[in-house]
Amino acid sequence: MNAIRNASLSRVLFLRLKDNRWTRSLESGLRDSPPGGVLLADPLPRTPDDTLALTLKIRRACSNPVFIAIREEGGPGSPLSRYFAALPLPRALAKMGAEAVARSSDLMGDALRLLGLNTNFAPVLDLATPLSEKKLGARTFGRDPQGVAECGGALMCGLARHKILACGKHFPGWGSVPFERASGLPVSAKTMASLWREDLLPFRKLLPWLPMVLLSSAAYKAYDFDLPRPASLSSSVVEGLLRGKLGYHGVALAFDLDSKDVRGALSFGEAVIQSLNAGCDMVMVDQGERFGISLEALKTGIQSGRLSTQRVEEALKRIQAAQKRIPSSTSKPSKKAIQGLQKGFDEFSREFIREESSNG
């Protein structure tokens, strides 16, 4: 238990940076309690060299392999658009077919690799519906489950060519979730059979190749009828559906636990414990106070017996298995390589605009 608590426990936490400044406080925090993953803030640093320098410092400070991620889905204002021509949003790409998605994700993966990143919070595998449209809009590939699976798979392949890990989201799907509510936990009333046939189809097709899955922050009556719980806190969804019925062995990541609408009456620390007890392997936490609260909650959870060492060991094994796919080193790209990639983004953008105009 001491080994888990003192050396590895922080690795079940995925640190979300509030900004991308490298400070003594951040460096000492990463060295003393290295997280399993770091999500960079948006916008990225001023230049590609600045971002590469930041990712290299994170790797050195964490000592062990670490997921270093952004959320790059394409579109104006996306992280990579700071350095490259903006890639089309998923909906627009899907209209051109899976081949267009593959070309876009190949550029995306190449750029992430050159910047020292190894993980991308994509693809969005939710279905486009009147309900999800209000939350996701053109971030979804479309309404057809098979089409979403094909496009999601094409995106994953493009990333994998450059050894970038994909994270599918938001399991088990946001297509039936009423996000128009002003407050409170959003609850899907869709039946188990309909979820299986529609929302879950992209996940069912792609889970064997997905290193990581982001859990939905909504509840699903099909799995928690009497007491709706967000998927990230539901053992019925994580252990029962994701692990048991679908046989998923990758990393399950919880997020949005900082929202009171999601965690309800639970304290943030207690929600972190319950997410791991539900079967999640990692929890997204904000830089600063939240990280310390989470780590202390995990320690006291183990000491009190509310969180078993076996559950933590299972999570760490899955994290370590995924991190074995991360390249061990990153070399600084030449100016010529960056310029060549920028040219590739520009050419793809022009081709896409021409094809979109001819089809329009």
CATH number at residue 210: 3.20.20.300
Average pLDDT, the chain: 95
Decide the pairing of beta strands 13-16 and 119-120.
unpaired
Domain assignment present for 360: no
Using pLDDT thresholds of 50, 70 and 90, give the confidence band for residue 134.
Answer: confident
| Residue 356 placed within a domain | no
From residue 248, alpha-carbon distances to 193, 220, 311 in Å are 19, 19, 16
* 355 domain residue, yes or no: no
- The yes-or-no verdict on residue 74 having pLDDT over 50 is yes
- pLDDT for position 181: 65
Interatomic CA distance for residues 141 and 148, integer angstroms: 6
Domain coverage including residue 18? 2-349
Q: Helix, strand or coil for residue 277?
A: helix
Residue 1 is predicted with a pLDDT of: 47
101: CB partners within 8 A, 6+ apart:
90, 93, 94, 141, 151, 154, 155, 158
Does residue 354 sit within a domain? no
Number of folded domains that form the chain: 1
Tell me what percent of the residues of the chain surpass a pLDDT of 90: 90
Pairwise CA distance, residues 147 & 153, whole Å = 10
Tell me: pLDDT of 162 over 50.
yes
Flag whether 357 is in a domain.
Answer: no
Q: Per the domain annotation, does 359 fall within a domain?
A: no
Q: For residues 31 and 180, which has the higher predicted lDDT (pLDDT)?
A: 31
